[in-house]
Structure 1
Amino acid sequence: MIRLIPPFSGTDRRLWALAWPLMLTNLSVPLLGLVDTAVLGHLERPEYLGAVAVGANLFTILYWSFGFMRMGTTGLAAQAWGRRDSEAQAGLLVRSVVLAVVIGLILILFHQPVIRLGLVLMNPGPEVAMLAGEYAAIRIWSAPAVLCQYTLVGWLIGMQFPRGPMLMLITANSLNILLDVLFVTVLGWNSQGVALATVIAEYAAAALGFALVLRRLPGNLRLTRALLGSLADYGRILNVNRYIMVRTITLLLVLAFFTAQGARQGDIILAANAVLITFLMIISNGLDGFANAAEALVGEAVGGNDRHQFREVCRTTLRWSLWGALLFTLLFVLTGHTLIGLLTSIPEVRETARLYLPWLWMLPLAAVWGFLLDGIFIGATRTRDMQNTMLFSALVIFLPTWWLTTGWGNHGLWFSLVFLMLARAATMGLVFMHRSHNDSWFT
């Protein structure tokens, strides 16, 4: 049984030592969205805000399709940490960085058809589509830096050095904020200025990440042919993480579908949903601090074959995740109207966002279970379970629910999103209980 306020144990202290830097790191990510939204939301035309919403969503799908480079690296690195295998830790890092650079260059090479296809699927209005295309043509140049960041952040979390990602992302996001204000407010570059600011900040974050990683590697380590590995080594990394890739693409396609359906209801609905989705990103990134800490501690327990630590980490992370969800719910109930007013001065967008705000109040407690279980499954590298439960929740629950509630307009769209979160919680919870009952986490 989970006690909400038990004595503060050693596991609590270890969890918080990892979680608080990761929370600050994660919460700094949606700050970019907040600043982008605030800077563009105060311009005279909502098309700029809609264009960045569409363009940013396109790159969220594109880049996080390779999110396994962060999540998979964390699980594998944490298990190597639990085994105290420094050679495996270094080899994983080198091979993952090589994959990140190669994939990033391929994305740049073939970006034009990818961007065109993404804009067709999202189907924004003609002017928003044109502005989003200009944004995307600049933003794509950050691909190698972004994918390297995923690998570096995942490795540092697995090595239980959460301050590294915190320093990387807070520094980069601060730079992005300053450049947003300079390029958009001062120089008047609108959505193109937002894109250029993001590209510069991503490369700054990657450079800082490499510097931090080099300091964490053993002093006598040298780059050898063995660390680079063979094609089979890269194949094994991709094989382990293919389920995370399918799971992540499915989730991101759901969010893209959400944006596209909002766009079909007009630029005002699209812009209002962009404001509220920014708040959802704050919720998910904040609660993911506990989930990320669980990835490292669960991976260590599995790598070290420590069942007692595994159970303690799961119980402790659940308790603190629930407290976090309750606090986020209270925050948006009390301050949601004020926060919307801070993000946009366009009266129609402000009034529309406030109309749909109550759906946001439901999301922290609906989504927290999925975030927590993601962390446990990643740490234990049970990625096939993540894929299967996400596919079921998206295809069997989300899409039919949306179709049945199309008559509700944007309310039906938000209802479907809340229902998706509940479906993830239920399906992953059943798998968790089954594995725990059969003691198959360590098999």
Structure 2
Amino acid sequence: MAEITHARVLKIALPIVLSNATIPILGAVDTGVVGQLGLPAPIGAVGIGAVILSSIYWIFGFLRMGTTGLVSQAHGTGDAVEVSAGLMRALIIAAAAGLTLIALQIPIFWAAFRLAPASAEVESLARDYLHIRIWGAPLTISLYAFTGWLIALERTRSVLVLQVVMNGLNVGLDLWFVLGLGFGVKGVAAATLISEIGGVALALWLTRAAFVGGLWRARAIFDRVKLGVMARVNSDIMIRSVLLQASFTTFLFLGAGQGDVTLAANQVLLQFLQITAFALDGFAFSAESLVGQAVGAHSVVRVRRAAIATSQWGVGLAVLLAAVFLVAGPAIIDVMTTAPEVRLAARVYLPWIAIAPVIGIASWMFDGIFIGATLTREMRNAMFVSVAIYVAALLILIPTFGNHGLWAALMVLNATRGVAMARLYPRAEAKAAL
């Protein structure tokens, strides 16, 4: 097995960073093309429709992480049959989940619009958008599985190619369907659906090695022990992710109670956190792949080396981001908003964003390490503890410090996650020693 070097870490991480950079571009194009129609309702419809679907699909993010952890370990062990079977199981789950969403689309969308009410015109257009996009549910969820499998095998360049081709196709069809053919909101939805079809077709080609040589035989796929492990890993990750999302949702809701200007300032600053996540994901994903392979190879030394090498780059990038935010933050804020009062408020809370990457890097990297080692129960339990402390921090800090207290509580959440998982890290090395 190849040595774990800094060059190898970068080879895995950089394509992920570049892939993530393409994601905001697509959202901007979707908004931009419907914005050319000169009406507010189509913009709102595409926005709310995309949020509804992304919130639903986000639940299945466990499929990406769980697949990476389990397949990377099988790869480290040299078990080609299990490497293939791991992808097949994930694709079966994706297909079942997607078909279930299609079957339940009427009650799901009804509930979504009750939670996020819109004007009659916006809701009507959003339903047009959703009723087209929902047919891509099995495809969208399966892409989590394909991506996780490719990351597990260190094929992140393929992930970048997949993302660029999908988004490029989507953008081109957006322009043609909306501006060229005048299909409006339905054109945006159709463009996305077709790009998902194209993406899955490309993903099948990129992962074709998993389908040849009889490696995908049913006996391996439906092995009861392996299915049980997969169910445990995925359920732990899903619970952990729901808790994390609930924490950020709470942050947003409590920020709304601080006034419109403060809420707007928080929204601007949260984009900095989005940038941080996109950048640090590359090294967290590197940890998932390399640690998983090391655990599969039963090498404690390689687990430690993978954890240290990926974390060194993660820490370095976190410090760099902190410096950029501190120095260039005011200019970035001015680009994001023209409202003077929002600019002023965002500058007041900018120091929290400047320290956020440094405080949060441990939680990001340990997430990757624990996913690779499939210590998902430990991840879940650490999240339970962190959320409990976060709630206590909210109750104590907000009444005294207002929005500063809200940001401080968010820092407490990330710091606690890092500390809790750091205490449990020896279990990753212990698992490799088994």
- Is the 8 Å Cα contact of residues 303 and 432 (structure 2) preserved in structure 1? no
Structure 1 pair 208–248 and aligned structure 2 pair: CA distance change class (3 A):
same
Structure 1 pair 263–419 and aligned structure 2 pair: CA distance change class (3 A):
same
Q: CA deviation at 1:59?
A: 3.9
Which residue of 2 is the match for residue 243 of structure 1?
236
Q: 1:39-438 residue pairs with structure 2 within 5 A? A: 56-118=50-112, 130=123, 134=127, 139-178=133-172, 197-214=191-208, 216-217=209-210, 219-221=212-214, 224-226=217-219, 228-229=221-222, 234-262=227-255, 273-343=266-336, 353=346, 356-394=349-387, 396-407=388-399, 410-432=403-425, 434-435=426-427
* 1:338-379 CA-partner distances (Å, limit 9, x unpaired): 434444566776666555444322221122111100111011
Q: CA deviation at 1:25?
A: 2.0
Q: CA deviation at 1:94?
A: 1.4
- Is the 8 Å Cα contact of residues 94 and 227 (structure 1) preserved in structure 2? no
Q: CA deviation at 1:238?
A: 1.7
Distance in 2 separating the partners of 1:280 and 1:42: 29
Which has the bigger relative contact order, CA under 8 A and spacing at least 6?
A: 1
For normalisation by structure 2, the TM-score amounts to 0.83
Between 346-355 and 219-228, report the one with greater CA deviation: 346-355
Q: CA deviation at 1:415?
A: 3.2
Distance in 1 separating the partners of 2:235 and 2:64: 13
Aligned residues: 430
Distance in 1 separating the partners of 2:177 and 2:392: 43
Which residue of 2 is the match for residue 12 of structure 1?
6
Between 255-264 and 124-133, report the one with greater CA deviation: 124-133
- Is the 8 Å Cα contact of residues 124 and 263 (structure 1) preserved in structure 2? no
Q: Which runs of 5+ in 2 are unaligned?
A: none
Q: CA deviation at 1:82?
A: 0.8
- Is the 8 Å Cα contact of residues 42 and 344 (structure 1) preserved in structure 2? no
- Is the 8 Å Cα contact of residues 377 and 386 (structure 1) preserved in structure 2? yes
Percent of paired sites with the same residue? 37
Structure 1 pair 192–251 and aligned structure 2 pair: CA distance change class (3 A):
farther
Which residue of 2 is the match for residue 4 of structure 1?
none
Over the aligned positions, Cα root-mean-square deviation in angstroms equals 3.8
Structure 1 pair 142–403 and aligned structure 2 pair: CA distance change class (3 A):
farther
Structure 1 pair 274–116 and aligned structure 2 pair: CA distance change class (3 A):
farther
Structure 1 pair 184–414 and aligned structure 2 pair: CA distance change class (3 A):
farther
Structure 1 pair 265–191 and aligned structure 2 pair: CA distance change class (3 A):
farther
Structure 1 pair 49–218 and aligned structure 2 pair: CA distance change class (3 A):
closer
Q: CA deviation at 1:266?
A: 7.1
* 1:261-294 CA-partner distances (Å, limit 9, x unpaired): 4556677766654443333222112101011111
Distance in 2 separating the partners of 1:416 and 1:47: 37
Distance in 2 separating the partners of 1:192 and 1:334: 43
Structure 1 pair 174–271 and aligned structure 2 pair: CA distance change class (3 A):
farther
- Is the 8 Å Cα contact of residues 64 and 148 (structure 2) preserved in structure 1? yes
- Is the 8 Å Cα contact of residues 46 and 185 (structure 2) preserved in structure 1? yes
Which residue of 2 is the match for residue 3 of structure 1?
none
Distance in 1 separating the partners of 2:206 and 2:303: 29
Structure 1 pair 200–40 and aligned structure 2 pair: CA distance change class (3 A):
same
Between 140-149 and 94-103, report the one with greater CA deviation: 140-149
Q: CA deviation at 1:83?
A: 1.2
For residue 22 of structure 2, give the secondary structure of its aligned residue in structure 1: helix
Q: CA deviation at 1:164?
A: 1.3
1:439 and 2:430 aligned: yes
Q: Which runs of 5+ in 1 are unaligned?
A: 1-8
Between 260-269 and 328-337, report the one with greater CA deviation: 260-269
Distance in 1 separating the partners of 2:302 and 2:178: 50
Distance in 1 separating the partners of 2:248 and 2:260: 17
Distance in 1 separating the partners of 2:308 and 2:70: 22
Distance in 2 separating the partners of 1:75 and 1:199: 29
